[in-house]
Structure 1
Amino acid sequence: MILRIAFGSLMARALTVAMTILAIGLSVALFLGVEKVRTGAKTSFADTISGTDLIVGARSGSVQLLLYSVFRIGNATNNVTWESYQDIAARADVDWIVPISLGDSHRQFRVMGTSAAFFEHYKYRNGQDLAFESGVILDDLFDTVIGYDVARTLGYSIGDPIIIAHGLASFTEHRDQPFRVSGILQKTGTPVDRTVIVSMEAIEAIHVDWQSGARMPGQTTPQEAIRQMDLTPKAITAALVGVNSPIQTFALQRAINEYPEEPLLAILPGVALQELWGIVGVAETALSAVSVMVVATALIGMMATIFSSLNERRREMAIFRAVGASPAAIMGLLVFEAILTATAGAMLGLGMLYLGLVVAQPMIDSAFGLFIPIDPPAFKELLVLISVVAAGAGVSLVPALRAYRLSLADGMTVKT
């Protein structure tokens, strides 16, 4: 009986109730969406590199080293000499080591020089290997493997030529040494998707006619001559390191940090990621707080709507009293209506969230490299929905108590 009366009462005020449900739904979708993006971003960052014990670079900050070596954000303060790289690689506790050289670009995408070991040892998302959508690993000096987003954005296919630009924001290109696309990687949801990968020797080859960051005027060395040169790198930007045993990680880190030949820094990727999230934690908290305030505002709006309808419903409540309803029953009716409204708003918000994820997921993945999974509601999300319904019932108690007093005072006569 109460359910039927409450439902009929809500339908009699369909437009007002619908607007309230929409406001609650939008606020719930915003709150859950912010949480999805926040956790998705955190997971995507954490899944970018897996199975790497240490990252080595020139001495700077741990977050800075992580950003430029893994996420291709920013630049290194200095390089690591090839001799130091070889010393580290020769240590007995090093299982594998992958060099990385950064600095050039191709149409806003970063170019990374590395070795064939990168395709063997780079792991992401709980140990997944890189896989090729088409083509093969670097086979020639001027071959390149491109990430999924590079191929899709620029429309490249196997065999297409690529001209690498000198630096990140330079109009100078290495047109005399064009590359050829030999492979296209499958989608990973990591910065690899937006990377043009070449060999370390190729990085040296395209800079044969360059000195101190500038091209030597009037000098062009033919490719045939370049192929005969010793193209051993002089320096690298960073290196990914795997150790033979996890218990050796900290000892190796300390040895690299105390390396006497030049100032180096070795970081643990997981620890550096925690430092990164500590830096952005204030903004993360502020965003969550804004979402909570939006939900609270929607619930307060529902309370205001109930308040504004009380005078219009005083005769209705008086009739209920005449047929035997107690003041407590009328109070309970208003609370029950608020629960129905909040539940409908919460369900609408959940539906809007998943509809938004279906539409926005590929765009967010492409634009920002953030993979946001479309999973069933987790316990935390269900707890948010229950909390919204409980909060809706709580804020409705204020107008419900007002209705309780009015029903006691009015009887059959509505006072004006």
Structure 2
Amino acid sequence: MPILILAWKSLLNRRFTALLTLLSIAFSVTLLIGVERLRGEVREGFTNTVSGTDLIVGARSGPINLLLYAVFRIGNATNNISWESYQAIANLPKVAWTIPLALGDSHRGFRVLGTTATYFAHFRYSRDRGLALAQGEPFADLYDAVLGSEVARTLGYRLGDPIVIAHGTGDVSFARHTDKPFRVAGILAPTGTPVDRTVHVSLAAIEAIHVGWESGAAAPGRSPDAAQTRELAATGALTPKAITAVLVGLKSRIATFQVQRAVNDYPEEPLLAILPGVALADLWRLIGIGERALLAVSAAVVVVGLFGMLTALLTSLNERRREMAILRSVGARPAHVLALILGEAVFLTLVGALLGGALLYGVLLLGGPLITDRLGLVIGIGPPSPAEGLLLAAVVAAGVLVGLIAGYRAYRLSLSDGLLIRV
């Protein structure tokens, strides 16, 4: 215990250098644990881009390709699903709900998704969170559009603003549906998923804007105006002939593989049913190298901070050789000198780690709502995860190693070496 008191008084005597070392370790630990927590939340958020959906069904291709265009709006489907096949899937006894998806149009670089009201009722993401409208309401009129938060923020749209959808992914003048403009009826709250970058319209609206179109262009004299298509919608004549994909929710997850097999063996047309969680995990393994690189960079920052502490301790030893010699002359053993330097290093590391953790929780408390609002990413404020605990233990162990290196150097200083130094 006296050696700890002596270490504390020694640090107070060098408080400015000790404070800088302490802050360096604290900021390093904040960065390291913060990156690890962010990495875990991003990974979990990615794998929960679609939550509560048991199967994704599309034309037969590959699981990753189906996942990319059905969930992330990247790429295009190799083929569509006929409306009859969709109804057959929806009417399976073990199916609780379905969300039809129709892709193929865009608006100023953002994909347009045709769907139904079940999308807003059943789509889930990130720990079973449902979609919420920040403003407005969905699909009160045939030509109503609901914007993702990023679409509205990037393009500066407000409720009631008109928008024009373009045929295909290229926004060129001859492919725009200028005769049937949409109205912004709703804006979704941020989700941190591809929903934020999507313009949502009804399936009937997708059919309405393509009435009279052939080979990607409007046939002269065959394209009815907006009023005429509203009349067609009222008669039920705008039922789609085909859709791009289907999100399927089951009454019991026990039936997942049974329904998947039934869809994959569907005799009328080649279909593919995938488990979104499995496909998302496979995709993360392909693109997750970036988050590992980020963790490596933050770990390197911690190493630099610990090397700074080692440098400070070793540099101070030359200034403290007479101090060590006086300690030896009054009865301190070499082991006491080692314990003194080791105690200083361990104290700085422990306090720095605790301060770094406190800084992280402070940042999460103050900046968490802003991160959620801007990025749709919910970062939990809970106890350290096992991975974070291991990182903290590794930091403390590295601090002990630094103390041992510096302490061994002090241990080697002889009594005569210290007494011969001139003041």
Same fold, TM-score > 0.5, yes or no: yes
- Percent of pairs identical after alignment? 55
The 5 A counterparts of 1:235-274 are 235-274=242-281
Q: What amino acid sits opposite 1:103 in the alignment? A: G
The 5 A counterparts of 1:317-356 are 317-354=324-361, 356=363
SS at the partner of 1:96?
strand
TM-score (norm. length: structure 1): 0.88
- Partner residue of 1:197 out of 200, 206, 213: 200
TM superposition shift of 1:158 = 3.5
The 5 A counterparts of 1:376-391 are 376-378=383-385, 380-391=387-398
Q: Distance in 2 between matches of 1:127 and 1:109?
A: 25
Q: Distance in 1 between matches of 2:198 and 2:94?
A: 30
SS at the partner of 1:260?
coil
- 1:174 equivalent to 2:177? Answer yes
In the other structure, the counterpart of 1:305 is 312
Q: Distance in 2 between matches of 1:332 and 1:354?
A: 33
TM superposition shift of 1:241 = 0.9
- 1:210 equivalent to 2:217? Answer no
The 5 A counterparts of 1:102-113 are 102-113=103-114
Q: Distance in 2 between matches of 1:26 and 1:60?
A: 48
The question of whether the paired residues in 1 share the 8 Å contact of 2:321 and 2:418 is answered with no
Give the direction of change, closer, same or farther, for the CA distance of 1:22–1:103 in structure 2 (3 Å limit).
Answer: farther
- Partner residue of 2:239 out of 232, 241, 254: 232
* Worse-matched range after superposition: 405-414 or 297-306: 405-414
- Partner residue of 1:296 out of 294, 303, 325: 303
In the other structure, the counterpart of 1:115 is 116
Give the direction of change, closer, same or farther, for the CA distance of 1:119–1:246 in structure 2 (3 Å limit).
Answer: same
The 5 A counterparts of 1:60-79 are 60-79=61-80
The 5 A counterparts of 1:25-174 are 25-172=26-173, 173-174=176-177
* Worse-matched range after superposition: 53-62 or 151-160: 151-160
The question of whether the paired residues in 2 share the 8 Å contact of 1:322 and 1:411 is answered with no
SS at the partner of 1:262?
coil
Q: What amino acid sits opposite 2:282 in the alignment? A: E
* Worse-matched range after superposition: 31-40 or 301-310: 301-310
* Worse-matched range after superposition: 288-297 or 259-268: 288-297
The question of whether the paired residues in 2 share the 8 Å contact of 1:60 and 1:265 is answered with yes
Give the direction of change, closer, same or farther, for the CA distance of 1:278–1:218 in structure 2 (3 Å limit).
Answer: same
In the other structure, the counterpart of 1:412 is 419
The 5 A counterparts of 1:392-411 are 392-407=399-414, 410=417
Q: What amino acid sits opposite 2:338 in the alignment? A: M
SS at the partner of 2:167?
coil
Q: Which runs of 5+ in 1 are unaligned?
A: none
* Worse-matched range after superposition: 307-316 or 129-138: 129-138
* Worse-matched range after superposition: 211-220 or 105-114: 211-220
Q: Distance in 1 between matches of 2:367 and 2:242?
A: 41
Give the direction of change, closer, same or farther, for the CA distance of 1:33–1:217 in structure 2 (3 Å limit).
Answer: farther
The question of whether the paired residues in 2 share the 8 Å contact of 1:99 and 1:240 is answered with yes
SS at the partner of 1:298?
helix
TM superposition shift of 1:280 = 3.1
Q: Which runs of 5+ in 2 are unaligned?
A: none
TM superposition shift of 1:201 = 1.1
Q: What amino acid sits opposite 1:275 in the alignment? A: D
Alpha-carbon RMSD: 2.9
TM-score (norm. length: structure 2): 0.87
Give the direction of change, closer, same or farther, for the CA distance of 1:286–1:157 in structure 2 (3 Å limit).
Answer: closer
Query: After superposition, what is the alpha-carbon deviation per residue over 1:258-297, rounded to whole angstroms, capped at 9, x for unaligned?
Result: 2333322110111112212222344443433343333233
Q: Distance in 2 between matches of 1:274 and 1:210?
A: 40
Q: Distance in 1 between matches of 2:394 and 2:275?
A: 39
The question of whether the paired residues in 2 share the 8 Å contact of 1:143 and 1:198 is answered with yes
TM superposition shift of 1:303 = 1.9
Q: What amino acid sits opposite 1:252 in the alignment? A: V
Give the direction of change, closer, same or farther, for the CA distance of 1:107–1:348 in structure 2 (3 Å limit).
Answer: farther
SS at the partner of 1:104?
strand
* Worse-matched range after superposition: 230-239 or 405-414: 405-414
Q: Distance in 2 between matches of 1:99 and 1:290?
A: 43
Q: What amino acid sits opposite 1:333 in the alignment? A: L
Q: What amino acid sits opposite 2:214 in the alignment? A: Q
Give the direction of change, closer, same or farther, for the CA distance of 1:286–1:347 in structure 2 (3 Å limit).
Answer: same
Q: How many residues align?
A: 416
Q: Distance in 1 between matches of 2:327 and 2:95?
A: 82
TM superposition shift of 1:238 = 0.7
Q: What amino acid sits opposite 2:54 in the alignment? A: D
Give the direction of change, closer, same or farther, for the CA distance of 1:408–1:60 in structure 2 (3 Å limit).
Answer: farther
Q: What amino acid sits opposite 1:279 in the alignment? A: L
Query: After superposition, what is the alpha-carbon deviation per residue over 1:356-375, rounded to whole angstroms, capped at 9, x for unaligned?
Result: 54676566556654332344
SS at the partner of 1:78?
coil
The question of whether the paired residues in 2 share the 8 Å contact of 1:54 and 1:266 is answered with yes
Query: After superposition, what is the alpha-carbon deviation per residue over 1:189-226, rounded to whole angstroms, capped at 9, x for unaligned?
Result: 43323322111110111122432223446765211222
Give the direction of change, closer, same or farther, for the CA distance of 1:406–1:353 in structure 2 (3 Å limit).
Answer: same
Give the direction of change, closer, same or farther, for the CA distance of 1:411–1:301 in structure 2 (3 Å limit).
Answer: closer
Q: Distance in 2 between matches of 1:377 and 1:243?
A: 35
